[in-house]
Amino acid sequence: MYTLSVGLYEHFFAKHDYYIVIVGLDNAGKTTFLEQIKAKFIRDYGVLRPSKITSTVGLNVGKVEVGQVRLNFWDLGGQEDLRTLWNTYYSVASALIFVIDGTRRELFDTVSSCFYDVMKSEFIQQIPVLVAVNKSELDGAATASEIRTLLSDDEHRSDLAVLPVSALEGHNIDRCVRWLVRSLQQADQKLQL
């Protein structure tokens, strides 16, 4: 009877943990994006002022709960010499967020090459990938459809979404998190079948 009670409790009340890696070129807005996620999903969270956010050397972490889901974020530094470390996180990742500065068109070739390198990982091929086109509120920023064309990847075998966001203003942050939760839960359901 005890085992049944514990099983029922865990089924209805236990949080399911997922691990999400956030990558992208340096100064794309990854840390600001993560700060907005924490601000929107953690009650009374004291968000960092954007002027206090500097380039990430190593990683920043965050944890939010959405219903029965706990999302654990790893925001990894985007400097060229740090990108070689990204793949050490892929094997334990449940999903990946690739943040792009939509206003820095001069870097789109580098972005495309970097995205292609990330997508070559056999681990990334199996998990949901969200491309967040940051600074979408600014004039001249690339649209989500432009970025989708730039990052064409016909071989990805899981969910892939490209969404416009404003990490500074918090625009579409909720939508990104809800997409992640839905995609992760659908992936779990497929595994159970």
- CB distance 144 to 162 below 8 Å: yes
Residues 5, 78: Cα–Cα separation, whole Å = 46
Residues 143, 10: Cα–Cα separation, whole Å = 43
52 marked as binding residue: no
- CB distance 130 to 180 below 8 Å: yes
48 marked as binding residue: no
31 marked as binding residue: yes
137 marked as binding residue: yes
54 marked as binding residue: no
Residue type, position 151, single letter: L
25 marked as binding residue: yes
Residues in the chain: 193
58 marked as binding residue: no
26 marked as binding residue: yes
Count of Cβ atoms closer than 10 Å to residue 126 Cβ: 13
134 marked as binding residue: yes
84 marked as binding residue: no
Which is nearest to 37 in space by CA: 179, 142, 137? 179
Facing residues of 59 across strands? 76
Which of 47-81 are b and which e, b meaning 16 or more Cβ less than 10 Å from the residue's Cβ? Answer: beeeeebeebeebbebebeeeebebbbbbbbbeee
Mark the binding-site residues, compressed into ranges.
24-31, 56, 78, 134-137
Residue ranges at the known binding site for GTP: 24-31, 78, 134-137
Q: What residues are designated binding site for Mg(2+)?
A: 31, 56
